[in-house]
Amino acid sequence: MKIKKFKNIQKQKSKESKGIINIALVGNANVGKSVIFNQLTGLSQTIGNWPGKTVEKMEGYLKFLGYRFNIVDLPGIYSLSTYSLEEIISREYIVSEEVDVIINVIDATNLERNLFFTFQLLELKVPMILAINQMDILRKRCLDLDFKKLEEIFKLPIISVIAVHGTGVHQLLEKAIDLVGYHQPTSNFDQDDKKIHEQPSHHYKNHEEDSTLKKSFQFPNLSSILKFGKEVEIKINELIKNIEEFQYHFSKFHYPSRFLAIKILENDEEIEKIFKINQESTYILNLADKHRNELEELHGEDISTILSSEIYTNIHKIIEQVLIVKAQGVIKIDWAEKLDHLTTHSFWGYVILILILFGIYFFTFLIGNLLGGVIENSFETLSKFVNSSFSEDDLGVKIFWEGAVGGIFGAIGGVLVYVVPFFLIIEILQDSGYLPRAAYLMDRFMHSIGVHGKSIIPMILGFGCNVPACTGCRIMETEREKKITIALTSLVPCAAVMTVVLGLVGRYVGITWVLILFAINLIVIIITGKILNKTLPGQCTELIMEMHEYRVPNYSVILKQTWVRTKEFIYKAMPIIIISAVILEILFMFRLLDPVNFLLSPITVYWLGLPVITGIFLIYGILRKELTLVLLALLANSMGTTLLGLLTPFQMIIFSLVTMLYIPCFATISIIAKETDWKFAIKIAFLEIGIALLIGGIINWGFIFITSF
């Protein structure tokens, strides 16, 4: 069924409110969770962080068949281990009282890896629906699945889904209603929509009739597919017996005893903390250590490998029973197969990557310049009208118009016009399947600077704007990798920096020096990465990323996702820019920045060889980098000269280099602090200031030394 038809059903049958159902979408990365989430929730989405965490939280809601569905799109993960913060958060949320039903989204073209995660979810004994996505691609390969057999095996609702077309999406909600099967009081959601949305559903359930769904839900007996080998099961059952003797200690954590037994056998650090409450429960950990050592000695492998291999053995048996081959061999889409081979080629893959990177930049810069010019001209026209209507020296005009309104126009014309087209093209690359291949190509190089290939994705985002790029560093698995990626991403020249470099060096000095500046920037990124790799404790993890088959992008989903990301920037970054603009305008009005020029002159004049006035412009660059160029041009006009009359070509090179490398804009620093902490953000700021001044001074004095002969 197409999504349009689904929306009609939703409108027709949502008149009478019956209750609230909280759903968590779970699954591996790139299986289509976000597509299903967008199809269901449309624009009724919010993006935030999990309480006290830096992991992104996507929430949305809809009304269907009289029920309100609160939906959370959990991070894409591959297991319920504790290798990453995303895995810990997802695991804790799934078993919490806030979740009624989980929908496990599975990629039909990669059943083996996806079902491994499904097996782990089954151990949590949470009401679950399996959504087998991308069935259209599987069928194009002349393959199909026996869904009746799958339901017989798993004894759970299993729905065939083609998420990009909305097929099967409404059946997921119908099955969720069937799974709930309990009574709730009728509520008028329209009267207090926001309040209901913010509260977990258990606040609205009739606890006298039925406490929680998870307690009343009779989870099917899955022993036929969940059993490990005999010697492993004996150890697990012994641990279960001991755990259940102390169950009153662990009941508040909502984990089933079998899940706890398996996890302490695997040496799961987060679960082990639960058992360190007293000496009696610590005995269970010692017993788990004993069993683990015995099994590892018997099999000659570590415990994770032992358990994983037995799960995969069960998965292979299931796939043999349910996979239907409609023709001899597996037929792939020719263009997709050829494109995949070409974009991951050891030579042509990198050529294509470079061309795409340049294409991203030129597309973003072309659209941004076009729209930015229109917005800038509009502001200038309006400013002339305002100045003619009021005195230019009027305090209110200066603060309100030049500061606040100028900040709004600057944020839109200087940043947003670059961010939106950049997000659009990135979403197209993501939805089509190219970005994982770029990560694969860059993996070896990125490992040399302490991160894996996935970090190239937020770094590419950085060419548009460092603010959303640093936010995108949440995709990294560990805190160490996230910090390194954030630091490197903040050094990527954004669209505003590109404006300064091309507007000064590109226009007046030549494209050769522009390329030299970019080369210096790349060298700085590499050296910074190597330093952080050596100084930050820990090691780089291996790249784990699905590379689904190339597909034609779904533009309705892309536009929705672009808006969601743009909305996040508007709500979070723009207020900072506007407030900062007002503050700086006040400082500028009362000439409070003149002392700053004097204080900075030993650096700007004597070390960098720049005019004394550039100190103020570099301060303004903390707000928006492109302001440095704008103010230089305004000063030159007021002095009756040109930029070449104000700065020598060599000073333009030094000024552009320092602007490129020194502290990112204040909005970026704020986002870095939000994603990590202020201590790390301040360290990054001072590190980059030091790098910019060191390199700028060395080049300046090197030039003086060479020309003196």
DSSP 480-515: HHHHHHHHHHHTS--HHHHHHHIIIIIHHT-HHHHH
Q: Where does residue 30 fall: left (phi above 0), alpha (psi -120 to 50 degrees), or beta otherwise?
A: left
pTM: 0.62
Average pLDDT, the chain: 78
What pLDDT does residue 3 have? Answer: 45
User: Which of the four pLDDT bands, split at 50, 70 and 90, describes residue 334?
Assistant: low
What pLDDT does residue 521 have? Answer: 92
Pick from 103-107, 501-505, 525-529: least confident: 501-505
Angle in degrees, CA 21, 25, 31, rounded to 5: 155
pLDDT exceeds 90 at position 104: yes
pLDDT digits over 351-364, tens only? 998 888 778 767 77
pLDDT exceeds 60 at position 445: yes
Helix (H, G, I), strand (E, B) or coil at 143: strand
What pLDDT does residue 592 have? Answer: 74
Query: CA 684 to CA 667: how far, in whole Å?
Result: 14
Classify residue 417: in a domain, yes or no.
yes
Q: Let me know: does 168 contact 1? Beta carbons within 8 Å.
A: yes
Classify residue 422: in a domain, yes or no.
yes
Reading the block at residue 270, the tokens are 């987060």
User: If we measure between CA atoms, which residue out of 60, 7, 3, 57 comes closest to residue 37?
Assistant: 60
Best-predicted range by mean pLDDT (362-366, 656-660, 671-675): 656-660
Pick from 42-51, 99-108, 429-438, 608-617: least confident: 42-51
Query: CA 564 to CA 164: how far, in whole Å?
Result: 18
User: Are 179 and 284 part of one and the same domain?
Assistant: no
pLDDT exceeds 90 at position 97: no
Pick from 225-229, 258-262, 548-552, 685-689: least confident: 548-552
What pLDDT does residue 185 have? Answer: 37
User: Which of the four pLDDT bands, split at 50, 70 and 90, describes residue 537?
Assistant: confident
Best-predicted range by mean pLDDT (103-107, 140-144, 443-447): 103-107
Pick from 95-104, 378-387, 604-613: least confident: 378-387
Classify residue 336: in a domain, yes or no.
no
User: Which of the four pLDDT bands, split at 50, 70 and 90, describes residue 98?
Assistant: confident
Number of domains in the chain: 3
Characterize 394-433 residue by residue with b for buried, 16 or more Cβ atoms within 10 angstroms of its Cβ, and e for exposed.
Answer: eeebbbebbbebbbbbbbbbbbbbbbbbbbbbbbebbbbb
What pLDDT does residue 187 have? Answer: 40
User: Are 246 and 185 part of one and the same domain?
Assistant: no
Classify residue 411: in a domain, yes or no.
yes
Helices (H), 228-302: 230-245, 247-250, 257-265, 269-274, 279-299
User: Are 485 and 366 part of one and the same domain?
Assistant: yes
What pLDDT does residue 101 have? Answer: 92
Region 316-329 average pLDDT? 83
More confident residue, 424 or 323: 323
Which residue, 149, 181, 216, sits at the end of a domain? 216
pLDDT exceeds 70 at position 568: no
Classify residue 12: in a domain, yes or no.
yes
User: Are 275 and 407 part of one and the same domain?
Assistant: no
More confident residue, 78 or 568: 78
User: Are 589 and 495 part of one and the same domain?
Assistant: yes
Q: What percent of the chain has a predicted confidence (pLDDT) above 90?
A: 14
Pick from 172-176, 229-233, 391-395: least confident: 391-395
pLDDT exceeds 60 at position 33: yes
Q: Let me know: does 662 contact 686? Beta carbons within 8 Å.
A: no
What pLDDT does residue 211 have? Answer: 38
Query: CA 484 to CA 533: how far, in whole Å?
Result: 8
User: Are 486 and 365 part of one and the same domain?
Assistant: yes
Q: What percent of the chain has a predicted confidence (pLDDT) above 70?
A: 78
More confident residue, 52 or 193: 52
User: Are 187 and 207 part of one and the same domain?
Assistant: yes
pLDDT exceeds 90 at position 482: no
Which residue, 173, 197, 216, sits at the end of a domain? 216
Q: Which residues is 422 bridged to in the sheet?
A: none
CATH code of the domain covering residue 36:
3.40.50.300
User: Which of the four pLDDT bands, split at 50, 70 and 90, describes residue 514?
Assistant: confident
User: Are 532 and 652 part of one and the same domain?
Assistant: yes
pLDDT exceeds 80 at position 585: no
Classify residue 562: in a domain, yes or no.
yes
Classify residue 327: in a domain, yes or no.
no
User: Are 429 and 545 part of one and the same domain?
Assistant: yes
User: Are 380 and 493 part of one and the same domain?
Assistant: yes
User: If we measure between CA atoms, which residue out of 143, 95, 186 comes closest to residue 325?
Assistant: 143
User: Which of the four pLDDT bands, split at 50, 70 and 90, describes residue 15?
Assistant: very low
The DSSP H or E segment spanning 158 is strand 158-160
User: Which of the four pLDDT bands, split at 50, 70 and 90, describes residue 701?
Assistant: very high
pLDDT exceeds 70 at position 202: no
Assign 3-class secondary structure to 585-614.
Answer: HHHHHCCCCHHHHHHHHHHHHHHCCCCCCH
pLDDT exceeds 70 at position 699: yes
User: Are 507 and 387 part of one and the same domain?
Assistant: yes
Q: Where does residue 538 fall: left (phi above 0), alpha (psi -120 to 50 degrees), or beta otherwise?
A: left
Query: CA 168 to CA 159: how far, in whole Å?
Result: 7
What pLDDT does residue 47 have? Answer: 59
Which residue, 216, 248, 268, sits at the end of a domain? 216
Classify residue 414: in a domain, yes or no.
yes
User: Are 186 and 279 part of one and the same domain?
Assistant: no
What pLDDT does residue 276 have? Answer: 76
Q: Which domain holds residue 294?
A: 227-300
